[in-house]
Structure formats: structure tokens, C-alpha cells
Amino acid sequence: MSENGMFGAKGSGDTSGFGGLVNTSSNVGVTQRPFGSYFDQIADDLERAYPLFSDAIEKVVVDRGELTLFIKRDRLFDVAKILRDQLKFEMCIGVSGAHYPSEVGRELHAVYSLLSITRNQRIRLEVCVSEKDSHMPSLVEVWAGANWHERETYDMFGIIFDNHPGLTRILMPDDWPGFPQRKDYPLGGIDIEYKGATVPAPSQRRSYQ
């Protein structure tokens, strides 16, 4: 039986539906001032409000019109409170995870997307931890809406949010082994039991006619 990918590729052995398509990625480095847009104002306001700002920031990245502040793990909670209380970033829109196995010692990333309704501005906070020590502070005390998002990031990536009020799995069963969105998680090929249902291997899930 011929197994064709989503883009018509043949004979690749890839049964994911993408036909061996490779997505190239670019490594965005540190952005130097001026950042542009309202980003310099945010940096200035944060420096004035938080004297340890320079020690708390690993790097600043402006890419595709978005500002990301890479925050040291032990300074995350303090920076978050300053952003909420003094810079008026009232909302945490979501928390997402990423796994970069090649970044030794900082393989796991948690990304907080923040919105200031008062200022009509958006920024992101990104924190990096290692697979061997995947702890970072929970920000539920700062933004209650981060609760379920941190649970999902824990469930999918294994990042442990210290002092979270109820850090349990939210998508997978409590006894599920591993973290499904890590790059080293098996993609299939073995039968998996999920709430009484058997999920077949990827090559058996669709017709390639």
C-alpha cells in the first residue's frame, strides 16, 4: 500500500501525514536597544520600578514585532508582581511550554503571554530550566488565570511550578507516563490504552489511497 504524506511525498517512511517535510528554524539572538515601538518604554519603566532589573534579565528579544523578556528563574515572581502592580499588566493570557533538547541545562522553556488593558500593550516572559531540575515559581498568586495553563504546561512538558495550589495533570490521566509534548516522547507505533480505548499506531489511523 502506498503511503503518501499530506504534501504528496512518497516513500519517505513518514506516516505522520507531513511526508518528511522539514521545517527550518532560525535562532534569534539578543536584541540591543533601541528596541522600537513601545518596548523601550516598558524596559525603562521596569528598570525604574525594579532596581534588580539588570540582574533579573537574561536577555531581551524583539522578533516579528513581539517583545520577549527572558527572566532568571529566581527573579520571575518579583518581576511578575512589578509588571502587574506598577506597569499595569493585569492579565496573563496563557502559559505555554517548549522543549529544546539541544539547549543543554535549559532544555525546558515556559512562556507567559501578558496583556496590559490599561496601556494597550503586550509582552512575553520566558523562563528556561533544565530537564534535571525543572522547577520554577508558580505565578498563580500573581495572575489567578494562569492556574490551568500552568497545569497544562506541567502535564505536557513536565515543568514543575512550585507553590501552585493544585499541580496535577489536566489533559492526561494522573498515572500517565512521560510528558507528551517533549521532543523525546514516542510518536506512536505501540498500542496505548487511554480510558479504555485502544489508539492504533499512526500508520494504521488513516487511509493513504
Asked whether the predicted pLDDT for residue 136 surpasses 60, the reply is yes
Whichever domain contains 128, its CATH number is 3.30.460.80
Q: Within a domain: residue 194? A: no
Asked whether the predicted pLDDT for residue 141 surpasses 50, the reply is yes
Q: Within a domain: residue 3? A: no
Asked whether the predicted pLDDT for residue 3 surpasses 70, the reply is no
Q: What is the pLDDT of residue 132?
A: 96
Q: Within a domain: residue 29? A: no
Q: What is the pLDDT of residue 195?
A: 60
Report the C-alpha gap between 99 and 131 in whole angstroms: 9
Kindly state the percentage of the chain with pLDDT values over 90. Answer: 68
Q: Within a domain: residue 12? A: no
Q: Within a domain: residue 11? A: no
Using 50, 70 and 90 to split pLDDT, how confident is the model at 186? confident
Q: Higher model confidence: residue 8 or residue 184?
A: 184
Give the model confidence (pLDDT) of 56-93 as tens digits: 999 999 999 999 999 999 999 999 999 999 999 999 99
| CB atoms inside a 10 Å sphere around CB 73 | 17
Using 50, 70 and 90 to split pLDDT, how confident is the model at 2? very low
- Domain tally for the chain? 1
> What is the model's pTM?
0.79
The boundaries of the domain holding residue 169 are: 39-173
Contact indicator for 167, 150 with CB cutoff of 8 Å: yes
Q: Within a domain: residue 90? A: yes
What's the grid cell of residue 83?
Answer: 509588571
Burial bucket for residue 179 (CB in 10 Å: 0-12, 13-18, 19+): buried
Q: Which amino acid, residue 175?
A: D
Q: Within a domain: residue 160? A: yes
Q: Within a domain: residue 24? A: no
